[in-house]
Structure 1
Amino acid sequence: MSTKLHTKSYSNNDRLFFLLNPNEDIAENDPVRVVDAVVESLDLREFKKLYRERGRCPYHPKMMLKIILYAYMNNIYSCRKIERQVQRDLHYIWLAAQERPDFVTINRFRNRVKKEINNIFTQVVLLLSERGFITLDVEYVDGTKIESKANKYTFVWRKTAEKNRAKLKEKIRVLLQQIDEVIAQDKAAETEAVEFTPETLTSLIGELKDALASEP
């Protein structure tokens, strides 16, 4: 005798309208609020010199700076990945105020103010590290320290201060080089988008059903 499965109703096609308020779901002590507050305190008037007076109205530089800094400090360096985070992750949606810059726009902004971003990024990391918010560690795999040209430093949000300021600045310099390499790989990997049509979806579902049917 089979047991009837009772579940809550579910349909993601219901035409429901709701207001998204990420601010209510982000803890008061969440690191994203630190990044937000730090960037809000910056004077970015010099950034305006890098923009043209004519043409399409650009995204606000503070918003762009926030999502890039927060991505870097969560070990996300690819502009494509930052674009996905802005579309899917609550913290980035909050920082961007639900704006959705694409990876081309993010990359263009980064290239336009690269020197300024790197300088602000360095100072923010030094400040947060000295206050004990973060540490910048070498990545460990199975207890083995990675020693190679691809040595990857990762941010850890924890209360561990870096004692040697010069050593930390060198780590940041290496990390910024890694970010440049990721951006270069991002551009090199650009390919035509795969067309996703109803026919493609039907074919995929059919193949999946056949594959599942052949398994016990």
Structure 2
Amino acid sequence: MKHHHVSFKEYTMDNLTLPSNIADLIPSDNMAHVVHEMVERIPMETFLPYYKGGGTSSYHPKMMTKIILYAYTQKMYHGREIARQLEVHLPLMWLSGFQKPDFRSINRFRSER
């Protein structure tokens, strides 16, 4: 049996070249962009009364608001599920700035803010 010359497109999983803006990887009609724009319009003063200061630094309230609102639009309601998706779901990763609050932090933010 004669074999034909087979060629494959080159690819490498090392040294990937990603766009400088991760948002470019997310389709422009994705709800993550809407959530981002909406939350960015909320004045920071809105969040400050819920923080007493001192102690360790907190996750940024706009970031937490973004990931929770976006998760709700995707029918993700449980803190553990949201925390898991922060590891793999690109729009959530972008909205969080690649930070990974655990489920306790997510649930605490929802219950205290």
Give the TM-score normalised by structure 2.
Answer: 0.80
SS of equivalent residue, structure 1 residue 81: helix
- In the TM superposition, residue 56 of structure 1 has moved relative to its aligned partner by 0.8
Counterpart residue type for residue 110 of structure 1: R
> Quick one: distance in 1 between partners of 2:84 and 2:9?
30
Task: Find the counterpart in structure 1 of residue 57 from structure 2.
Answer: 57
Give the share of equivalent positions with the same residue, in percent.
Answer: 39
> Quick one: distance in 2 between partners of 1:109 and 1:19?
35
- In the TM superposition, residue 111 of structure 1 has moved relative to its aligned partner by 0.7
Structure 2 stretches of 5 or more lacking a match?
A: 1-5
CA deviations 1:70-93 (Å, max 9, x no partner) are 111111100000001111100000
Give the TM-score normalised by structure 1.
Answer: 0.44
- In the TM superposition, residue 48 of structure 1 has moved relative to its aligned partner by 1.3
- In the TM superposition, residue 47 of structure 1 has moved relative to its aligned partner by 1.6
Q: How many residues align?
A: 106
Task: Find the counterpart in structure 1 of residue 3 from structure 2.
Answer: none
- In the TM superposition, residue 52 of structure 1 has moved relative to its aligned partner by 2.5
Task: Find the counterpart in structure 1 of residue 36 from structure 2.
Answer: 36
Structure 1 stretches of 5 or more lacking a match?
A: 1-5, 114-216
- In the TM superposition, residue 55 of structure 1 has moved relative to its aligned partner by 0.9
Q: Structure with the greater relative contact order (CA < 8 A, sep ≥ 6): 1 or 2?
A: 2
Task: Find the counterpart in structure 1 of residue 26 from structure 2.
Answer: 26
Q: Which structure: greater strand fraction?
A: 1
Task: Find the counterpart in structure 2 of residue 76 from structure 1.
Answer: 76
> Quick one: distance in 2 between partners of 1:19 and 1:107?
35
Flag the structure with larger Rg: 1
Whether contact under 8 Å (1:22, 1:93) holds in the other structure is no
Cα distance change, pair 84–48 in 1 and its aligned pair in 2 (3 A): same
> Quick one: distance in 1 between partners of 2:100 and 2:28?
24
- In the TM superposition, residue 29 of structure 1 has moved relative to its aligned partner by 2.1
> Quick one: distance in 1 between partners of 2:27 and 2:64?
22
Segments ≥4 residues shifted beyond 2 Å: 6-12, 16-22
- In the TM superposition, residue 45 of structure 1 has moved relative to its aligned partner by 1.2
Task: Find the counterpart in structure 1 of residue 111 from structure 2.
Answer: 111
SS of equivalent residue, structure 2 residue 38: helix
- In the TM superposition, residue 46 of structure 1 has moved relative to its aligned partner by 2.9
